[in-house]
Amino acid sequence: MRNVIRKILPAVALLWATSAMSQDDLPIPADELVYCTVCHGIQLMGNPIIRAPRLSGMETWYVEQQLRNFSAGVRGLHEDDTIGVDMQPMAAVLTDAQIKAAAVFVNATRSTSPKITISGDTLKGKAHYSTCAACHGVAGKGNEALGSPDLTIPDDWYLVTQLQNFRSGVRGSHPADSYGMQMRASVQLLADDEAIMDVVSYISTLRND
Amino acid sequence: MKKPLTRRHFLNLVGAAGGTTAIYQTSRALGLMEDTGPVAQLDLKNVARSRKKVAILGAGISGLAVAYELERAGYDVTIIEASHRIGGRNMTLRHGDLIDEMGQQRTCNFDDDPDLYFNAGPARIPGHHHRVMHYCRTLSIPLQIKSNVSRMTYTHEENKFGGKPVRIGQYLAETRGLLAEIVHKAVNKNAFDETISVEDQERLLAFASSYGDLDPNGIYKGTLRSGYKSGGFAKPAEIFERMDFREFLSSQFWQRASFMFENPDWGEPLMEAVGGMDNIVKGFARDIKSPIRLNAQVQSIQLQQNGIDVVYNHKGKRKKLSADYCFNSIPTHFMPGIPNNLPEDYRNGLKSLQPGWGFKIGLQMKERFWEREGIYGGATFTSQRIGEIWYPSHGIHGKKGILLGAYQFYDPSMFFDRMTPEERIAYAANCGEKIHPGYSDYIEAGVSVPWRRMNHMMGCGTRFSEDARERYFSLLQQPAAGRHYMIGDQISYHSSWQEGALASAETALLDLDKRVRAETGESRKA
Ligand SMILES: Cc1cc2nc3c(=O)[nH]c(=O)nc-3n(C[C@H](O)[C@H](O)[C@H](O)COP(=O)(O)OP(=O)(O)OC[C@H]3O[C@@H](n4cnc5c(N)ncnc54)[C@H](O)[C@@H]3O)c2cc1C
């Protein structure tokens, strides 16, 4: 019941998360999922020093997709991936059932929107985003059928690294990474780092919490 | 070109990049207590009547010391620890202990034997760490000398001296011979100006000759100080020839074998706790009666109007502890991932600290082969990635022993951290072979501890940039809103040393005491 309420009323869940009095309703990780919170922060709120992105409320299917990618070494083992390599061994030890449980936990977590740390030109960013919208949706909420994730959840600094990773091939060049390859093709529309900052700044405006 | 880099590395090794004078000045300025020298009584005001509540976050050395002191001063203390064990980085591994590495959890496979333990964190205490010594004395923790420097161990460089290890005694004797000879020549060539009198020149010659063991003509021809090449007992002694000095000069490595121990933190003699460094932790735990919640990860820290609330998870439930004060030793790099309402500048200060690195391997050797090479304690240095090999000072002539098989304190590439536990041991075994042929065959069991990958820790040796320290250090030494004290070696000029953890605990306790006394108009005696 509570889960349903939370899905309908994310704003209410948000209030729970921010007020110290009413934290009772937030999910408590099983022992083997406490690890996730050590890097990704309490309620997976993200931690820039650890470089682990916010995951709170992320779509179950996408979390599973990424955990499987990390686990299979499709993501995180590129020789120039100095960040994904921190995550990869964590996923590698998860059984299939644990991956599913992890995704359910991730989806149930709640935290306030992360701070904006990237300052780009949102107008230019909006223009760039028009192509992205084809897959990630106009509101940036993603599209499961296309394997494209909600972009309004993770921290902006993380989106920047990912776009740079797709561009350089650190992510999305593994032969078994078909979704990553699609994204890698799309990122070529962003000419340089400035374009990346701009589009990420625009995506930040799509956050609705 | 290389020099500034190696110097910086060295400072990182030292673990006190702030410099020692900085330590003295800052704390003197605080006007609290002598920072070095014998520890004075804390003399905290007893608050048993008002039952002030304190939440201590993290049960490492700093948290335990605060709990110990406050409990004795009548505070109502609760310790909240995320890990399955207390001690934090003070961790000694024995048979069957859990090594909670993220993604590679395992247990220690040493034999079940009290002599076979490995100090995966702190292993050495120098005599000038007065606070650590004070608690060892107070808690009756037996100490023994830990040999840190030995003339019998080796310095080894892969591309110097034919890749052969050189005994540190010989290396030191050679470098001194070389320097002394240069001084001797300089004096004889009158390279000094008038400020050195003829008399002083004579003295300098005599000093140089003695320093380097030169011959009557001021030439270094090798010395017995290098050890015996052969004989010396039933047969006449034969000494080593002098070595090629160019090898020394082109070496990037001299500072480790020659100067590392000139740092007071590594100066002989050092101490260790008999039976394992975690006896300090056990000593605290024995004498602390307040509840210690294990597997209790802090979820939120909220300053309130008249106190501070800490939420933590415990046994599948969320618990809230409302306290008057909070002492927080959680590694600062986790704080951006813990919801809190600490003041903005304070949070920025916490964010300015970066986690450091630390990696150790412990190897169970089926025989103490090194003792047959004349090595009893001390450390070998190598240019290989393992960095060092340490030989135990205890259990001499016993059957087996635990060697430290690798020690890295500065490795942003996280070379070992990225390997599997088996790969690490195999790698260390290979390096050891270059120094002690046959090394691998002695290895029966091994543990590796990459602190950057350890659960609830993820680092050792907090790094502050100079700017950040300038800007934030004194702010972080003060309690946020008068209620939240950040503690631990991270809030000290001695990060990576237990003394730093205790110094920060002491600073916080004295500040608290001042505030508590002020409530009733008292003040601390100077
Ligand atoms: C490889 C290595 C070698 C060292 N060598 C020496 C030496 O020779 N001599 C020496 O004196 N010192 C040495 N040190 C340093 C010494 O270990 C530390 O200075 C000291 O142990 C730090 O104590 P602390 O209380 O500051 O922090 P820690 O021991 O880091 O304690 C922090 C505690 O917080 C807990 N925690 C984390 N997150 C949470 C959370 N969310 N909720 C609740 N609790 C949490 C952790 O589990 C931990 O127990 C060494 C350290 C290492 C790693």
Over residues B491-520, the pLDDT tens digits come to 999 999 999 999 999 999 999 999 999 998
Mean pLDDT, rounded, of chain A: 90
Q: Are A103 and A60 in contact (CB under 8 A)?
A: yes
Structure tokens at A84: 């994904």
Which residues from B are below 8 Å from A24, CB to CB? 318
Tell me, yes or no, whether A101 and A135 share the same domain.
no
Percentage above 90 pLDDT, chain B: 81
Tokens for A17, please give them. Answer: 């998360």
Predicted local confidence at residue B417, as pLDDT: 95
Is the Cα torsion angle B269, B270, B273, B274 positive or negative in sign?
negative
> Would residue A113 count as lying in a domain?
no
Q: For position A199, which CATH number holds?
A: 1.10.760.10
pLDDT of A86 above 50: yes
pLDDT digits (tens, 9 = 90+) for A147-191: 999 999 999 999 999 999 999 999 999 999 999 999 999 999 999
- Report d(CA A73, CA A67) in Å as an integer: 10
Residue A209's pLDDT is: 67
Distance from C-alpha of B334 to C-alpha of B326, rounded to nearest angstrom = 16
Q: Count of alpha carbons within 13 Å of A110, Cβ hemisphere only?
A: 21
* Co-location of A86 and A140 in the same domain: no
Query: Average of pLDDT values for B383-405?
Result: 97
**Does residue A195 share a domain with residue A136?**
yes
Given A79, A108, A137, which residue is the final one in a domain?
A: A108
Q: CA–CA separation, A121 vs A111, rounded Å?
A: 26
**Residues B121-154: tens digit of each pLDDT:** 999 999 999 999 999 999 999 999 999 999 999 9
Confidence of residue B193 (pLDDT cuts 50, 70, 90): low
- CA dihedral (A92, A35, B331, B123) positive or negative: negative
Same-domain check for residues A25 and A102: yes
The residue segments making up the domain with residue A21 are 2-108
**Mean pLDDT in residue range B315-334:** 97
Give rounded-to-5 percent helix, strand, coil for chain B.
35, 20, 45
SS3 (DSSP) at B449? strand
How many distinct structural domains can be found in chain A? 2
The end-to-end CA distance of chain B, in Å, is 50
Answer for the pair B353, A66: CB distance below 8 angstroms, yes or no.
no
Indicate whether A97 and A127 sit together in one domain.
no
With respect to residue A195, please indicate whether it lies within any of the assigned structural domains: yes
What average pLDDT does the segment B269-294 reach? 98
pLDDT of B13: 37
Q: What is the pLDDT of residue A21?
A: 39
Looking at A108, A139, A170, which one is the last position of a domain?
A108
Residue B77 phi, psi dihedral angles, 5° rounding: -110, 135
Ligand 1 contact via B451 beta carbon (within 6 Å)? yes
The arithmetic mean of pLDDT across residues B46-72, rounded, is 97
B249 or A18: which carries more pLDDT confidence?
Answer: B249
The pLDDT of residue B248 is 80
Condensed to tens digits (0 to 9), the pLDDT of residues B429-472 reads 999 999 999 999 999 999 999 999 999 999 998 999 999 999 99
Distances (CA, A) of A39 to A10, A64, A67, B451: 24, 18, 15, 14
Q: Over 60: is that where the pLDDT of B18 sits? A: no
Q: Judged by CB atoms within 8 Å, which residues 284-303 of B form the interface with A?
A: 295, 297-300, 302
User: Rounded to an integer, what distance in angstroms lies between the CA atom of residue B485 and that of residue B469?
Assistant: 17
Please count the CA atoms within 13 angstroms of the CA of B44 that sit on its side-chain side. Answer: 23
Percent of chain B past pLDDT 70, that is, above it, reads 93
Chain B residues near residue A55 by CB distance under 8 angstroms: none
Left (φ > 0), alpha (ψ -120 to 50) or beta: where does B147 sit? beta
Res B198: pLDDT = 86
User: Among partner residues B311, B318, B339, which is closest to A45 by beta-carbon distance?
Assistant: B339
pLDDT digits (tens, 9 = 90+) for A1-21: 334 333 333 333 344 444 443
8 Å CB contact of B102 and A38: yes
Q: Is the CB of B85 under 6 A from ligand 1?
A: no
Helix (H, G, I), strand (E, B), or coil: what is residue B270? strand
> Has residue B378 got a pLDDT over 60?
yes
d(CA B224, CA B240): 8
Interface of A with B (CB under 8 A): 17-18, 20, 23-24, 26, 28-29, 31, 34-35, 37-43, 45-50, 52, 85, 89-90, 92-93, 111
- Most A CBs within 10 A among B83, B105, B106, B299, hence the mutation to make, goes to B299
Q: In what helix (H) or strand (E) does residue B309 lie, and over which residues does it extend?
A: strand B307-314
What per-residue string of b and e applies to B370-393 under the rule 16 or more CB within 10 Å gives b? bbeeebbbbbbbbbbebbbbbbbb
Q: Is the peptide bond before B269 cis (omega within 30 degrees of 0)?
A: yes
Query: Is there a contact between B154 and B167 (Cβ–Cβ < 8 Å)?
Result: yes
Specify the pairing of strand B388-390 against strand B379-382: antiparallel
Answer yes or no: is A209 within a domain.
no
Specify if A200 maps to a domain: yes
For residue A115, being part of any structural domain is answered with: no
Q: Which of A68, A83, A108 is the last residue of a domain?
A: A108
> Minimum mean pLDDT among A11-20, B74-83, B516-525: which range?
A11-20
pLDDT in tens, B211-224: 999 999 999 999 99
Selected residue with higher pLDDT from A7 and A87: A87
Does position B26 have pLDDT exceeding 50, yes or no?
Answer: no
CA distance A55 to A44: 5
Nearest residue of chain B to residue A44 (CA atoms):
B337
Using CA atoms, how far residue B23 sits from A106, B28, B34, B503, B505, in Å, is 44, 9, 11, 10, 15
pLDDT above 70 (res B30): no
CB pairs under 8 A between A and B: 82
pLDDT of B11 reads 34
Query: Which of helix, strand or coil describes residue A202?
Result: helix
**d(C-alpha B428, C-alpha B408), whole Å:** 12
Question: Is A47's CB within 8 Å of B337's CB?
Answer: yes
Look at residues B502, B498, B483 and name the one whose alpha carbon lies nearest to residue B42: B502
| Per-residue pLDDT at B432 | 98
Residue B477 has pLDDT above 80, yes or no: yes
* Residue B124 beta carbon below 6 angstroms from any ligand 1 atom: yes
Q: Rounded mean pLDDT of chain B? A: 91
More confident residue, B255 or B1: B255
Measured CA to CA, the distance from residue B436 to residue A71 in angstroms comes to: 39
- Which segment of A140-149, B29-38, B52-61 scores lowest on mean pLDDT? B29-38
pTM to 2 decimal places? 0.93
Considering the domain architecture, whether residues A31 and A75 belong to the same structural domain is answered as yes
A135 and A182 fall within a common domain: yes
Is the confidence at residue B8, as pLDDT, over 80? no
Cβ atoms of B333 and B458 closer than 8 Å: yes
Identify the CA nearest to B443 among candidates B430, B454, B452, B458.
B430
| A141: amino acid identity, one letter | K
A21/A47 same-domain check? yes
User: What is the model's pLDDT at position A24?
Assistant: 64
* pLDDT at position B194: 67
* CA nearest neighbour of A112 among A199, A39, A11: A11
Phi, psi (5° rounding) for residue B317?
A: -125, 155
Tell me phi and psi for residue B152, to 5 degrees. Answer: -90, -15
pLDDT in tens, A54-77: 999 999 999 999 999 999 999 999
C-alpha angle B69-B525-B521 in degrees, rounded to nearest 5: 90
User: Is B175's pLDDT higher than 70?
Assistant: yes
**Residues A20 and A104 grouped into a single domain:** yes
What's the rounded Cα separation, in Å, for the pair B89 and B488?
A: 11
Coil, strand, or helix at residue B141?
coil
Q: Are A79 and A169 found together in one domain?
A: no
